[in-house]
């Protein structure tokens, strides 16, 4: 099958690499540097499986920044471009998705278009009317940054939002046949596009709710002088609650959870609710608490250890530690950032240090969302709420 994948972020690139093992794939990307890297079989993002596949697999994959070339003869167009949350409009910015849809209509009018980018609820239905097309569908992605290809190869589920059940089966077959996981072990669901859009936002907001809940538990325990670890261990012995997504942090962050919770809240503007607003507000309150705890220690120089959200990721967009950093800087505390993947020498007017030993020696308090072996020799001056990461 001939497929065009638009967007070389972790969603689009992982799909392009996986599908190009058995299909002819063109990757459409506006960033020329990423185009060149993919064509050289080098990954422009940090993902072990993507790097391995590019290096060792025979892939029918060509990257280009030319939409006419990418979309020519395409039977399926997968749209995986960024939809960042716009706080001014209180909505996802879907301009990049709309742009690809327009190009697909122009250069591949017969192709089925499947949007993988996270969308506001109702987008597909309104876009179908705006562009007078029916071949537009939505499929939510459930991928982790740094492990996107692995999660596509071993999917937790595959969902397609479409009114065309025949195409729905074609899409499910396409992804399942390219996966390493056995087909009978992959839950599949064909539903309407608007319900599929809702699934994505509600799923991520539920995960954000779990993060917020255990963070508020930790805030309570810390304030009352109790053992957070003991309380969480006891609570999570209940199999209905489970022992996952329960490690206290500085707040949920990254590319998906902050924007998806805010987008879902925007969709609730004419629906009675209190919980969704509370989840969004809780994340801000948690950062206030963490920053106050750090300020109370009266440090002269605070070191922020890593801006990335998690191990194996190169993304520090909306990472929770940035909120902590901004709050303590507002109190006049000097901040130095250790982030070896950053090319810039400063971040929010704070110096970026790439020498770990120098970083450790010049900071009298080091703030780390997650503890790591790299900091064990200075554990006495590390501030973290991480309880379980090293277990």
Domain boundaries, the chain: 2-191, 201-383
Is-catalytic flag, 256?
yes
168 close to 202: Cβ distance less than 8 angstroms: no
Q: Would you say 205 and 275 are in contact if contact means Cβ atoms under 8 Å apart?
A: no
Entry pTM:
0.90
Checking if the pLDDT of 52 tops 90, the result is: yes
**Which CATH architecture is the domain 201-383 placed in?**
3-Layer(aba) Sandwich (3.40)
**pLDDT for position 91:** 76
pLDDT digits (tens, 9 = 90+) for 334-354: 999 999 988 899 998 999 999
Confidence of residue 314 (pLDDT cuts 50, 70, 90): low
Do the domains 201-383 and 2-191 match in fold?
yes
> Is the pLDDT assigned to residue 88 strictly greater than 90?
no
At 334 the pLDDT is: 96
Cα–Cα distance for residue pair 202/316, rounded to 1 Å? 23
* Residue 269 pLDDT > 90: no
What Å distances lie between residue 250 and 257, 294, 298, 307, CA to CA? 14, 12, 19, 12
pLDDT band at 225 (very low <50, low <70, confident <90, very high): very high
Where helices occur in the chain by DSSP H, the ranges are 10-19, 32-39, 48-56, 67-71, 95-107, 123-131, 148-153, 165-178, 193-224, 228-235, 257-267, 275-296, 320-329, 356-362
Q: Are strands 346-347 and 365-367 parallel, antiparallel or unpaired?
A: unpaired
Provide the CATH topology of domain 2-191: Rossmann fold (3.40.50)
Tell me the two tokens of residue 164.
């065309």
How many Å apart are CA 35 and CA 20, to the nearest integer?
Answer: 16
* Residue 201 confidence class, pLDDT cut points 50, 70, 90: very high
**Which of 4, 236, 256, 363 is labelled catalytic?**
256
């Amino acid at each position: 099958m001939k497929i065009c994948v638009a967007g070389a972020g972790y969603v689009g690139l992982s799909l392009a690499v996986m599908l190009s093992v058995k299909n002819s794939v063109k990757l459409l990307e506006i960033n020329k540097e990423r185009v060149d890297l993919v064509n050289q079989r080098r990954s422009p993002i940090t993902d072990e499986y993507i790097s391995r596949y590019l290096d060792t697999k025979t892939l029918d994959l060509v990257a280009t920044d030319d939409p006419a070339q990418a979309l020519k003869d395409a039977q399926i167009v997968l749209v995986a471009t960024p939809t960042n949350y716009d706080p001014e409009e209180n909505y996802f910015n879907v301009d990049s998705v709309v742009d690809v849809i327009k190009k697909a209509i122009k250069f591949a009018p017969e192709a089925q278009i499947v949007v993988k980018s996270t969308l506001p609820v109702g987008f597909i239905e309104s876009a179908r009317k705006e562009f007078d097309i029916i071949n537009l569908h939505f499929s939510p992605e459930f991928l982790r940054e740094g492990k996107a290809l692995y999660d596509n190869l071993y999917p937790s589920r595959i969902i397609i939002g479409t009114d065309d059940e025949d195409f729905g089966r074609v899409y499910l077959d396409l992804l399942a046949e390219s996966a390493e996981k056995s087909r009978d072990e992959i839950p599949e669901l064909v539903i309407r596009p608007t319900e599929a859009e809702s699934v994505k936002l509600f799923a991520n907001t539920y995960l954000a709710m779990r993060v917020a809940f255990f963070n508020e538990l930790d805030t309570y325990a810390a304030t009352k002088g109790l053992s957070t670890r003991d309380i969480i261990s006891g609570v999570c012995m209940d199999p209905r609650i489970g022992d996952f997504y329960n490690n206290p942090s500085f707040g949920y962050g990254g590319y998906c959870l902050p924007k998806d919770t805010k987008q879902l809240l925007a969709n609730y503007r004419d629906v009675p609710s209190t919980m969704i607003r509370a989840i969004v507000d809780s994340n801000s309150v948690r950062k206030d608490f963490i920053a106050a705890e750090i300020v109370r220690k009266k440090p002269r120089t605070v070191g922020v250890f890593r801006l990335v959200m998690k191990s194996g990721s190169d993304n520090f967009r909306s990472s929770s530690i940035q909120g902590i950093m901004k709050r303590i800087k507002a109190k006049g505390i000097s901040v130095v950032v250790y982030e070896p993947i950053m090319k810039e020498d400063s971040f929010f007017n704070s110096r970026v240090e790439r020498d770990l030993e120098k970083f450790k020696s010049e900071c009298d308090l080091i703030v780390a969302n997650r503890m790591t072996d790299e900091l064990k020799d200075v554990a006495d001056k590390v501030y973290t709420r991480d309880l379980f990461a090293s277990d």
